[in-house]
Amino acid sequence: MEIYIVLIGLVFLAGLLYVGKGYWAWVSFVASLLGAWYVGNVGPSWLFHSAAGFALAMAALLGLPALRRAIVSKSLMRWVGGILPVMGDTERTALEAGSVWWDGDLFSGTPNWRKLLDFPAPKLTEKEQAFLDGPVENLCAMINDWKIFQDRAIPDEVWAFMRKHKFFGMVIPENFGGLGFSALAHSAVVTKLSSRSSTVAVTVMVPNSLGPGELLVHYGTDEQKAYYLPRLASGEEIPCFALTEPTAGSDAAATTSTGIVCRGAYEGKEVLGIRLNWTKRYITLAPVATVIGLAFRMHDPDGLLGDTSDLGITCALIPRELPGIEIGDRHDPMGVPFLNGPIFGHDVFVPMSAVIGGVGGVGNGWRMLMEALAAGRAISLPSLSVGAAELATRVVGAYGSVREQFNLPIGRFEGIEEVIARIAGYTYLMNGARTLTCGAVDAGEKPAVLTGIVKAYLTDGMRTVLNDAMDVQAGAAICRGPKNILGRAYVAVPVAITVEGANILTRSLIVYGQGAIRSHPFVRDEMEAVATRDLARFDRAFFGHVNFACRNLIRVLFDRLSGGRLLTVPTQGPSGRYFRRLSRFSTAFAVISDVALAVYGGSLKRREMVSGRLADALSWLYLGSTTLKKFHDDGYQPRDEAVMRWAMELTMVKIDTALRGVLDNLPNRFLSATLGWIVFGFAGRMRAPSDRLSSTVAAAILSGGALRDHLTSDIYIPPAQEEGLGRLEATLRKINEAQPIKTKFRESALTGKHGTDLNGSLDKAIEAGAITREEKDQLLGAEKARLETIQVDVFDSDTYLGLR
């Protein structure tokens, strides 16, 4: 009889799992009722009456929607409403901007890997590739980044070249004179330019990112598009976008800039317009901008447009030459000489036609900005970060072979191998995230959570990679001058970390703060149902959420007990086990996320250490997904297997650490321990990439072979005669070509026929027949190039005092 009781319990549990799923709940409850009847016939009558009564009551209470709403859901909605955070208008607008894509799969606990792998691999068109191989390559050749830093300005001829080839019009459609490039092409241009000069890269990416051009394309009136877009594409007009203020940084919606609807004189006529006052700072291109995109809060105190006084955040285009504008001064962000400065406006009057979108655009500025950022965050700073990472990979691979200490290339030391492997692994992972996210944008998605992830975690990855690369180059990296390859990119890192939403706030407020509402299958419905007092919608969402949570809880326990062996994965190759692990972690994330939402309620928004860890877990789930997608799209190349495995092992550690961190800090220790056992059992923490794997990756980078070329295929490689990377590359080729000669020389020295000193023993090696005279010259030439390449810049006193 006991076995039947257990079976009844399991069937009844299935009923709970199907609550909110219609008749399936009834089927399960009725089955449990019949089972109870059977048990009552072969056992004590009280057991039948108790089990039958309970099953019938639960079936009626939870299986009849009308009864459930009246008795259960109505009380639940009041309770849930008391713990959920209040959603303001600006937050609601931010949530409505953009779309849910792969983040929805990750939140579901059951990601559809086939859907991800079948997503078309992002590719450039022939026209876009030709632009990269032509104008972009030529622009890189024109740039002398050291001179730009010293002159504090981009040369006029570089500005003229960028205008001529429409670098400022990449996002503007061809019918308006622009290039009409994809997000992937825009990203590829910024990636290559940033490997040459962060100053030039920023100058190009800003007009193509959040600003007048992007906003006009999507929201401008026909007249505004016809007038401005051709001028922006040709560079006749240089735009900037003024959003940030001293008291409104990451909280941009708290703007104090105002626009009052009134009548005034404009170009000799009295028109209906707006009188503007603002104080903006950190505005890139402001010192040279000819047209200002301005975000401000618009007011209509006299009712000239209608009955509403506070019309909301609005965006307008302001010509630079209007009276009342103060512009031209500069900030100095970490010494990186891209144009950036404050803008002030005092009683600046513009006509209503200045509003982007005309009268219809009044009050819609915040939505415009959020929708533009939902896609734009995927491109500019992630691309700049990948360019820096590829440059670092290229440099350390060469420098680790060229620089010697203790008669060994420094790359042969395990401490250096560990760092080089980390640089390569991050670069591979970051580029996978860049290309897939751009591909999603080109497919019409505006995945706000995922673009927030790539902005925050790729710029942070750039910081990790450049810190490591600086350590490898050591003294050569910290001495400024034309020979220094990495130093100018290194000082730009804090700028990338800070702009377009500081990473600390992006991590907790956007990635998880918005992600938990936007990407979760039920939370947003629950919040909106509570806000609108829609009981039927709340009932469906809440009990759907219960079903979702129970299923994931059982799934995570089953997967843990089975080791995930029964999970379906799209491939059984070298990446197969990582799909399986990510699936298990996705389920664990869904469970722990739901527990955190239940435990903390609305206060989770303020518990940023908790939400930050959940953001880490979600972000690394996405980065791991993009890494596996890249390995798939590249054709499962044996060349990439070791670096893919390194990146995925790192991903596993990051997710494991984040999820355990959430559990470790739950206020209820019993809940923490119980959930920890369900999710992780008694398994130890995930292990970092092994020493053997790191050595394998480092060796592939140091060899100057296919993996190094593949990881750095998006950057500019200077000619051999150029100081810095050009000379380093040329020296690496000479050393690699001379290495067999050096090996023969050293093997001969072991016989005692001559010494090991290259300066004094080469002639004796020739006499011994170990090498030829031509080989001696080749070896000495390589050693001479090595010595010249590791030199750093030296300045006389007068020149030094004039350095900037």
Residues identified as active-site: 500
Quote the CA–CA distance of 405 and 432 in Å, as a whole number: 35
> What DSSP string describes 324-381?
TEEE-----STT--S-EEEEEEEEEEEEGGGBTTGGGGTT-HHHHHHHHHHHHTTTHH
> What DSSP string describes 64-91?
-HHHHIIIIIHHHHHHHHHHSPP--HHH
Interhelix angle 608-633/448-473, rounded to 10 degrees, is 80
Pairing of strands 404-405, 325-327: unpaired
Quote the CA–CA distance of 216 and 692 in Å, as a whole number: 53
What is the token pair recorded at 276?
């503007």
Quote the CA–CA distance of 520 and 533 in Å, as a whole number: 20
What is the token pair recorded at 430?
């970051």
Quote the CA–CA distance of 110 and 582 in Å, as a whole number: 10
Contact 40, 49 (CB under 8 A): yes
Quote the CA–CA distance of 280 and 282 in Å, as a whole number: 7
What is the token pair recorded at 401?
């072979």
Quote the CA–CA distance of 199 and 672 in Å, as a whole number: 49
Question: Helix (H, G, I), strand (E, B), or coil: what is residue 600?
Answer: helix
Query: Residue 313 belongs to what H/E stretch?
Result: strand 310-319
Contact 339, 330 (CB under 8 A): yes
Nearest of 487, 252, 401 to residue 790 by alpha carbon:
401
Phi/psi at 263 (5° precision): -105, 145
Contact 469, 725 (CB under 8 A): no
Query: Residue 299 belongs to what H/E stretch?
Result: strand 291-299
Quote the CA–CA distance of 653 and 646 in Å, as a whole number: 11
> What DSSP string describes 93-110?
HHHHSS---HHHHHHHTS
Interhelix angle 608-633/414-442, rounded to 10 degrees, is 90
Quote the CA–CA distance of 739 and 409 in Å, as a whole number: 12
Quote the CA–CA distance of 763 and 776 in Å, as a whole number: 8
Quote the CA–CA distance of 357 and 678 in Å, as a whole number: 54
Residue with tokens 């799923």: 21
Contact 616, 585 (CB under 8 A): no
**Helix, strand, coil abundance in the chain, percent, nearest 5:** 65, 10, 25
Residues 6+ apart with CB under 8 A from 561: 681
Contact 241, 211 (CB under 8 A): yes
DSSP code at position 286: G
Contact 72, 61 (CB under 8 A): yes
Quote the CA–CA distance of 259 and 347 in Å, as a whole number: 9
Contact 715, 195 (CB under 8 A): yes
Query: Per DSSP, what are the bridge partners of residue 329?
Result: none
Phi/psi at 283 (5° precision): -95, 110
Phi/psi at 274 (5° precision): -135, 135
